[in-house]
Protein backbone atom coordinates (compact mmCIF):
# COMPACT_ATOMS: atom_id res chain seq x y z
CA UNK A 1 0.00 0.00 0.00
CA UNK A 2 1.17 3.47 -0.82
CA UNK A 3 2.10 5.49 2.28
CA UNK A 4 2.77 9.13 1.31
CA UNK A 5 4.96 10.99 3.78
CA UNK A 6 3.41 14.46 3.56
CA UNK A 7 3.66 16.65 6.64
CA UNK A 8 -0.15 16.51 6.66
CA UNK A 9 -0.55 12.75 7.18
CA UNK A 10 -0.49 12.05 10.93
CA UNK A 11 -2.22 15.23 11.97
CA UNK A 12 -4.93 14.79 9.41
CA UNK A 13 -5.60 11.24 10.56
CA UNK A 14 -5.91 12.30 14.20
CA UNK A 15 -8.03 15.32 13.39
CA UNK A 16 -10.38 13.27 11.22
CA UNK A 17 -10.77 10.60 13.91
CA UNK A 18 -11.57 13.17 16.60
CA UNK A 19 -14.13 15.00 14.49
CA UNK A 20 -15.89 11.86 13.35
CA UNK A 21 -15.95 10.42 16.85
CA UNK A 22 -17.62 13.57 18.09
CA UNK A 23 -20.28 13.89 15.41
CA UNK A 24 -21.41 10.26 15.11
CA UNK A 25 -21.79 10.76 11.38
CA UNK A 26 -23.23 8.16 9.08
CA UNK A 27 -21.21 6.93 6.11
CA UNK A 28 -23.73 7.81 3.40
CA UNK A 29 -25.13 11.16 2.33
CA UNK A 30 -28.84 11.76 2.69
CA UNK A 31 -30.84 11.87 -0.50
CA UNK A 32 -33.57 14.47 -0.46
CA UNK A 33 -36.24 14.95 -3.06
CA UNK A 34 -37.53 17.86 -1.00
CA UNK A 35 -34.41 20.00 -1.44
CA UNK A 36 -35.25 23.65 -1.94
CA UNK A 37 -35.79 24.42 -5.60
CA UNK A 38 -33.83 27.61 -4.99
CA UNK A 39 -30.62 25.68 -4.24
CA UNK A 40 -28.00 25.74 -7.00
CA UNK A 41 -24.47 24.34 -7.04
CA UNK A 42 -21.95 26.19 -9.22
CA UNK A 43 -19.24 23.66 -9.94
CA UNK A 44 -15.86 24.36 -11.60
CA UNK A 45 -14.04 21.20 -12.69
CA UNK A 46 -11.27 19.74 -14.83
CA UNK A 47 -12.33 16.09 -14.37
CA UNK A 48 -13.65 13.67 -16.96
CA UNK A 49 -16.33 12.39 -14.59
CA UNK A 50 -17.67 15.83 -13.60
CA UNK A 51 -20.75 15.80 -15.84
CA UNK A 52 -21.71 12.31 -14.68
CA UNK A 53 -21.32 13.42 -11.05
CA UNK A 54 -23.33 16.59 -11.64
CA UNK A 55 -26.16 14.65 -13.30
CA UNK A 56 -26.29 11.93 -10.62
CA UNK A 57 -26.15 14.43 -7.75
CA UNK A 58 -28.90 16.59 -9.21
CA UNK A 59 -31.10 13.52 -9.71
CA UNK A 60 -30.50 12.30 -6.15
CA UNK A 61 -30.95 15.63 -4.35
CA UNK A 62 -33.02 17.88 -6.58
CA UNK A 63 -30.31 20.54 -6.35
CA UNK A 64 -29.61 22.20 -9.69
CA UNK A 65 -25.98 21.97 -10.83
CA UNK A 66 -24.28 24.49 -13.09
CA UNK A 67 -21.05 22.94 -14.36
CA UNK A 68 -18.10 24.78 -15.93
CA UNK A 69 -15.68 22.19 -17.31
CA UNK A 70 -12.23 23.22 -18.59
CA UNK A 71 -8.55 22.34 -18.35
CA UNK A 72 -6.87 23.03 -15.04
CA UNK A 73 -4.79 26.01 -16.16
CA UNK A 74 -7.76 28.03 -17.47
CA UNK A 75 -9.83 26.88 -14.47
CA UNK A 76 -7.32 28.26 -11.98
CA UNK A 77 -7.02 31.47 -13.98
CA UNK A 78 -10.80 31.86 -13.80
CA UNK A 79 -10.80 31.28 -10.05
CA UNK A 80 -8.09 33.88 -9.51
CA UNK A 81 -9.87 36.39 -11.75
CA UNK A 82 -12.96 36.00 -9.54
CA UNK A 83 -11.01 36.11 -6.28
CA UNK A 84 -12.71 39.25 -4.96
CA UNK A 85 -16.16 38.15 -6.12
CA UNK A 86 -16.20 34.34 -6.49
CA UNK A 87 -19.03 32.73 -8.44
CA UNK A 88 -18.26 29.09 -7.66
CA UNK A 89 -19.26 26.77 -4.82
CA UNK A 90 -17.05 23.73 -5.46
CA UNK A 91 -13.82 23.20 -7.39
CA UNK A 92 -12.33 19.85 -8.46
CA UNK A 93 -9.08 19.09 -10.28
CA UNK A 94 -5.86 17.03 -10.18
CA UNK A 95 -2.97 18.32 -8.10
CA UNK A 96 -2.91 19.07 -4.38
CA UNK A 97 -0.13 21.63 -4.79
CA UNK A 98 -2.52 24.06 -6.43
CA UNK A 99 -5.15 23.27 -3.79
CA UNK A 100 -2.63 24.00 -1.03
CA UNK A 101 -1.85 27.33 -2.69
CA UNK A 102 -5.54 28.29 -2.76
CA UNK A 103 -5.77 27.28 0.89
CA UNK A 104 -2.78 29.48 1.76
CA UNK A 105 -4.67 32.39 0.18
CA UNK A 106 -7.69 31.71 2.45
CA UNK A 107 -9.91 30.88 -0.53
CA UNK A 108 -11.09 27.45 0.66
CA UNK A 109 -13.49 26.45 3.42
CA UNK A 110 -11.65 24.94 6.37
CA UNK A 111 -12.80 22.67 9.18
CA UNK A 112 -15.69 20.90 7.39
CA UNK A 113 -15.80 17.11 7.66
CA UNK A 114 -18.26 15.31 5.37
CA UNK A 115 -19.97 12.34 6.99
CA UNK A 116 -18.68 10.11 4.21
CA UNK A 117 -15.05 10.87 5.15
CA UNK A 118 -15.36 7.70 7.25
CA UNK A 119 -14.95 5.88 3.93
CA UNK A 120 -11.31 6.95 3.59
CA UNK A 121 -8.56 4.34 3.52
CA UNK A 122 -5.22 5.02 5.20
CA UNK A 123 -4.02 6.45 1.87
CA UNK A 124 -6.98 8.80 1.71
CA UNK A 125 -6.45 9.98 5.27
CA UNK A 126 -2.75 10.58 4.63
CA UNK A 127 -3.61 12.92 1.75
CA UNK A 128 -6.15 14.92 3.77
CA UNK A 129 -4.78 18.28 4.97
CA UNK A 130 -5.06 18.91 8.69
CA UNK A 131 -7.38 21.90 8.18
CA UNK A 132 -9.71 19.87 5.89
CA UNK A 133 -9.57 22.59 3.24
CA UNK A 134 -9.77 20.02 0.43
CA UNK A 135 -10.55 16.33 0.07
CA UNK A 136 -8.76 13.65 -1.98
CA UNK A 137 -11.10 11.70 -4.27
CA UNK A 138 -8.61 9.37 -5.98
CA UNK A 139 -5.01 9.17 -7.18
CA UNK A 140 -3.15 8.53 -10.43
CA UNK A 141 0.46 8.93 -11.52
CA UNK A 142 1.26 12.44 -12.74
CA UNK A 143 3.40 10.90 -15.43
CA UNK A 144 4.45 7.42 -16.48
CA UNK A 145 6.22 6.61 -19.75
CA UNK A 146 4.05 5.55 -22.67
CA UNK A 147 5.61 4.34 -25.92
CA UNK A 148 4.39 3.38 -29.37
CA UNK A 149 4.98 -0.37 -29.58
CA UNK A 150 5.23 -0.26 -33.40
CA UNK A 151 8.07 2.28 -33.26
CA UNK A 152 10.02 1.27 -30.14
CA UNK A 153 11.61 -2.20 -30.22
CA UNK A 154 11.96 -4.13 -26.95
CA UNK A 155 15.65 -3.31 -26.58
CA UNK A 156 14.88 0.45 -26.72
CA UNK A 157 11.97 0.52 -24.25
CA UNK A 158 12.90 3.13 -21.60
CA UNK A 159 12.90 2.04 -17.97
CA UNK A 160 14.28 5.21 -16.34
CA UNK A 161 13.69 8.90 -16.96
CA UNK A 162 17.26 9.36 -18.22
CA UNK A 163 16.60 6.82 -20.98
CA UNK A 164 14.48 9.48 -22.71
CA UNK A 165 17.71 11.40 -23.44
CA UNK A 166 18.88 8.58 -25.72
CA UNK A 167 19.74 9.49 -29.35
CA UNK A 168 17.08 6.94 -30.35
CA UNK A 169 14.43 9.33 -29.00
CA UNK A 170 15.82 12.52 -30.56
CA UNK A 171 12.87 14.67 -31.63
CA UNK A 172 10.48 11.90 -30.56
CA UNK A 173 9.64 12.60 -26.89
CA UNK A 174 6.44 14.42 -25.94
CA UNK A 175 4.79 15.81 -22.82
CA UNK A 176 2.02 18.23 -21.83
CA UNK A 177 2.32 21.94 -21.08
CA UNK A 178 2.21 22.49 -17.28
CA UNK A 179 0.63 25.92 -17.79
CA UNK A 180 -2.44 24.18 -19.27
CA UNK A 181 -2.49 20.56 -18.14
CA UNK A 182 -3.33 19.94 -14.47
CA UNK A 183 -1.32 16.70 -14.04
CA UNK A 184 1.83 18.11 -15.63
CA UNK A 185 2.96 20.65 -13.05
CA UNK A 186 2.94 17.90 -10.37
CA UNK A 187 5.07 15.81 -12.75
CA UNK A 188 7.57 18.69 -12.98
CA UNK A 189 7.52 19.26 -9.21
CA UNK A 190 8.04 15.54 -8.63
CA UNK A 191 11.08 15.57 -10.90
CA UNK A 192 12.45 18.57 -9.01
CA UNK A 193 11.97 16.77 -5.70
CA UNK A 194 13.51 13.55 -6.96
CA UNK A 195 16.49 15.10 -8.76
CA UNK A 196 16.88 18.41 -6.94
CA UNK A 197 15.60 21.65 -8.47
CA UNK A 198 18.73 22.64 -10.40
CA UNK A 199 19.29 19.09 -11.64
CA UNK A 200 15.61 18.81 -12.58
CA UNK A 201 15.80 22.00 -14.59
CA UNK A 202 18.93 20.68 -16.30
CA UNK A 203 17.07 17.45 -17.13
CA UNK A 204 14.23 19.29 -18.89
CA UNK A 205 16.75 21.47 -20.75
CA UNK A 206 18.50 18.29 -21.89
CA UNK A 207 15.16 16.89 -23.09
CA UNK A 208 14.57 20.11 -25.03
CA UNK A 209 18.02 19.89 -26.57
CA UNK A 210 17.11 16.35 -27.64
CA UNK A 211 13.99 17.65 -29.41
CA UNK A 212 11.27 17.47 -26.75
CA UNK A 213 7.81 18.30 -28.16
CA UNK A 214 5.21 20.06 -25.99
CA UNK A 215 1.47 19.53 -26.43
CA UNK A 216 -1.49 21.07 -24.60
CA UNK A 217 -3.12 18.19 -22.72
CA UNK A 218 -3.32 14.39 -22.42
CA UNK A 219 -5.47 13.99 -25.54
CA UNK A 220 -3.09 15.95 -27.77
CA UNK A 221 -0.02 14.11 -26.51
CA UNK A 222 -1.72 10.72 -26.87
CA UNK A 223 -2.79 11.52 -30.42
CA UNK A 224 0.79 12.43 -31.36
CA UNK A 225 2.00 9.18 -29.81
CA UNK A 226 -0.56 7.05 -31.61
CA UNK A 227 0.02 8.62 -35.04
CA UNK A 228 3.80 8.36 -34.78
CA UNK A 229 4.63 12.06 -34.47
CA UNK A 230 6.51 10.99 -31.35
CA UNK A 231 7.73 7.59 -30.18
CA UNK A 232 7.41 8.07 -26.44
CA UNK A 233 5.67 10.42 -24.01
CA UNK A 234 5.25 11.20 -20.33
CA UNK A 235 1.78 12.16 -19.15
CA UNK A 236 -0.93 11.06 -16.72
CA UNK A 237 -0.97 7.28 -16.45
CA UNK A 238 -4.76 6.91 -16.47
CA UNK A 239 -4.84 8.25 -20.04
CA UNK A 240 -1.97 5.96 -21.01
CA UNK A 241 -3.61 2.90 -19.45
CA UNK A 242 -6.94 3.68 -21.08
CA UNK A 243 -5.29 3.84 -24.51
CA UNK A 244 -3.55 0.51 -23.89
CA UNK A 245 -6.75 -1.15 -22.66
CA UNK A 246 -8.62 0.22 -25.68
CA UNK A 247 -6.32 -1.69 -28.02
CA UNK A 248 -3.96 1.07 -29.15
CA UNK A 249 -0.33 0.17 -29.90
CA UNK A 250 0.76 1.65 -26.57
CA UNK A 251 2.99 0.25 -23.86
CA UNK A 252 3.20 1.76 -20.37
CA UNK A 253 6.28 1.79 -18.14
CA UNK A 254 6.63 3.07 -14.57
CA UNK A 255 10.29 4.18 -14.37
CA UNK A 256 12.30 2.41 -11.71
CA UNK A 257 13.47 5.76 -10.32
CA UNK A 258 9.91 6.70 -9.40
CA UNK A 259 6.72 8.42 -10.55
CA UNK A 260 4.83 11.23 -8.85
CA UNK A 261 1.67 10.38 -6.91
CA UNK A 262 -1.11 12.68 -8.15
CA UNK A 263 -4.23 13.15 -6.01
CA UNK A 264 -7.44 14.53 -7.43
CA UNK A 265 -8.93 16.93 -4.89
CA UNK A 266 -12.25 18.63 -4.34
CA UNK A 267 -12.77 21.78 -2.27
CA UNK A 268 -15.46 24.24 -1.19
CA UNK A 269 -15.21 27.98 -1.69
CA UNK A 270 -14.78 29.81 1.63
CA UNK A 271 -17.34 32.30 0.27
CA UNK A 272 -19.55 29.75 -1.48
CA UNK A 273 -22.78 31.34 -2.76
CA UNK A 274 -24.64 28.16 -1.74
CA UNK A 275 -22.65 26.65 1.12
CA UNK A 276 -25.27 24.04 1.98
CA UNK A 277 -25.33 22.68 -1.58
CA UNK A 278 -21.53 22.63 -1.68
CA UNK A 279 -21.28 20.56 1.50
CA UNK A 280 -23.90 18.13 0.23
CA UNK A 281 -21.99 17.69 -3.03
CA UNK A 282 -18.63 16.91 -1.38
CA UNK A 283 -20.41 14.47 0.92
CA UNK A 284 -22.01 12.86 -2.15
CA UNK A 285 -18.69 12.51 -4.02
CA UNK A 286 -17.13 10.52 -1.16
CA UNK A 287 -20.17 8.25 -0.82
CA UNK A 288 -20.33 4.87 -2.51
CA UNK A 289 -22.75 6.27 -5.11
CA UNK A 290 -20.46 9.18 -5.85
CA UNK A 291 -17.35 7.03 -6.05
CA UNK A 292 -19.03 4.52 -8.35
CA UNK A 293 -20.13 7.38 -10.60
CA UNK A 294 -16.48 8.43 -10.91
CA UNK A 295 -15.77 4.93 -12.23
CA UNK A 296 -18.32 5.11 -15.05
CA UNK A 297 -15.78 4.63 -17.84
CA UNK A 298 -18.40 5.15 -20.55
CA UNK A 299 -19.09 8.64 -19.22
CA UNK A 300 -15.71 9.57 -17.77
CA UNK A 301 -13.22 7.87 -20.08
CA UNK A 302 -9.67 7.54 -18.82
CA UNK A 303 -10.25 9.58 -15.65
CA UNK A 304 -12.22 6.62 -14.27
CA UNK A 305 -9.00 4.58 -14.05
CA UNK A 306 -7.91 6.16 -10.77
CA UNK A 307 -6.61 4.43 -7.65
CA UNK A 308 -9.34 4.69 -4.98
CA UNK A 309 -8.73 6.45 -1.66
CA UNK A 310 -11.95 5.07 -0.14
CA UNK A 311 -12.92 1.55 0.91
CA UNK A 312 -16.31 1.59 -0.83
CA UNK A 313 -15.00 0.79 -4.33
CA UNK A 314 -12.26 -1.30 -5.93
CA UNK A 315 -9.86 -0.05 -8.65
CA UNK A 316 -10.70 -0.74 -12.28
CA UNK A 317 -6.97 -1.30 -12.97
CA UNK A 318 -4.03 -2.20 -10.75
CA UNK A 319 -0.60 -0.57 -10.62
CA UNK A 320 1.72 -3.20 -9.10
CA UNK A 321 5.29 -2.48 -8.11
CA UNK A 322 5.28 1.28 -8.63
CA UNK A 323 7.91 3.40 -6.87
CA UNK A 324 5.98 6.51 -5.80
CA UNK A 325 7.38 10.02 -5.38
CA UNK A 326 5.37 11.87 -2.72
CA UNK A 327 5.54 15.64 -3.01
CA UNK A 328 4.62 17.96 -0.14
CA UNK A 329 1.70 19.97 -1.57
CA UNK A 330 2.56 23.16 0.36
CA UNK A 331 6.09 23.10 -1.12
CA UNK A 332 4.78 22.39 -4.62
CA UNK A 333 2.03 24.99 -4.37
CA UNK A 334 4.39 27.70 -3.12
CA UNK A 335 6.59 27.29 -6.22
CA UNK A 336 3.94 26.60 -8.86
CA UNK A 337 3.79 30.04 -10.44
CA UNK A 338 7.57 30.47 -10.53
CA UNK A 339 8.34 27.01 -11.86
CA UNK A 340 5.53 27.05 -14.43
CA UNK A 341 6.83 30.40 -15.66
CA UNK A 342 10.37 28.98 -15.81
CA UNK A 343 9.11 25.99 -17.81
CA UNK A 344 7.23 28.26 -20.22
CA UNK A 345 10.23 30.52 -20.79
CA UNK A 346 12.91 27.84 -20.98
CA UNK A 347 11.24 24.69 -22.31
CA UNK A 348 8.02 25.57 -24.13
CA UNK A 349 9.42 28.56 -26.01
5-14, 121-130, 309-318: the lowest-pLDDT one: 5-14
CA angle 296, 297, 303 (to 5 degrees): 100
When mean pLDDT is compared across 35-49, 103-117, 326-340, the lowest value belongs to 35-49
Q: Taking residues 117-126, report their average pLDDT.
A: 97
Asked if 140 contacts 20 with a C-beta cutoff of 8 angstroms, the reply is no
CA separation for the pair 82, 79 (Å, rounded): 5
Instruction: Please tell me whether residue 211 adopts helix, strand or coil conformation.
Output: coil
Please list, in sequence order, all residues whose beta carbon lies within 8 angstroms of the beta carbon of residue 251, skipping any fewer than 6 positions away: 146, 147, 149, 152, 157, 244
For 237-267, b/e burial (b = at least 16 CB within 10 A) is bbbbbbbbeeebebbbbbbeebbbbbbbbbb
User: Are 150 and 249 in contact, with CB atoms under 8 Å apart?
Assistant: yes
Nearest to 71 by CA among 183, 215, 190: 183
| Residue ranges with strand state E in the chain | 40-45, 64-69, 90-94, 134-141, 144-148, 173-176, 213-215, 232-235, 250-253, 259-268, 324-325
Residue 235 to residue 259: CA distance in whole angstroms: 11
Domains annotated for the chain, with CATH where assigned, are 9-24+35-141+263-317 (3.40.190.10), 144-260+336-348 (3.40.190.10)
Mean of per-residue pLDDT scores for the chain:
90
Span 224-254, pLDDT tens digits? 999 999 999 999 999 999 999 999 999 999 9
Give yes or no for residue 118 having a pLDDT over 70. yes
32, pLDDT greater than 60: no
For range 116-138, the mean pLDDT: 97
DSSP state of 188: H
Specify the higher pLDDT residue, 34 or 70.
70
pLDDT tens profile 74-102: 999 999 999 999 999 999 999 999 999 99
Structure confidence at residue 36 (pLDDT): 52
For residue 7, the tally of other CB atoms under 10 A from its CB is: 13
Q: What percent of the chain has pLDDT over 90?
A: 86
Nearest to 210 by CA among 157, 146, 165, 147: 165
43 exposed, middle or buried (CB, 10 Å; 0-12, 13-18, 19+)? Answer: buried
Answer yes or no: are the C-beta atoms of 189 and 97 closer than 8 Å.
yes
Q: Exposure pattern of 67-98 as b/e (b: 16+ CB <10 Å)?
A: bbeebbbebbebbeeeeeebebbbbbbbbbbb
Q: Over 50: is that where the pLDDT of 279 sits?
A: yes
* Least confident stretch, 16-20, 28-32, 164-168, 333-337: 16-20
pTM tops 0.95, yes or no = no
8 A C-beta contact, residue 139 and residue 127: yes
pLDDT score of 333 more than 80? yes
Say if residue 311's pLDDT is above 60: yes
Nearest-angstrom CA–CA distance, 139 and 145? 17
Amino acid sequence: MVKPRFLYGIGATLALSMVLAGCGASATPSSSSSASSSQKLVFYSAQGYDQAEATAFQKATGIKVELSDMSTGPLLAKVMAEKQNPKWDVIWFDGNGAMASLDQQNMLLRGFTPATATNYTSLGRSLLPIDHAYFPTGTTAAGAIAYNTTLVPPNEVPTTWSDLLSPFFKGAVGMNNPAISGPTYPLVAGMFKQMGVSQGMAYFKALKANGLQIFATNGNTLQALENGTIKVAMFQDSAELNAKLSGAHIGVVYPSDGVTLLPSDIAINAKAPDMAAAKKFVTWVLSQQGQKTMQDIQAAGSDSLFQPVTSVIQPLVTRPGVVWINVNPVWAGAHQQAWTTWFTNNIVR
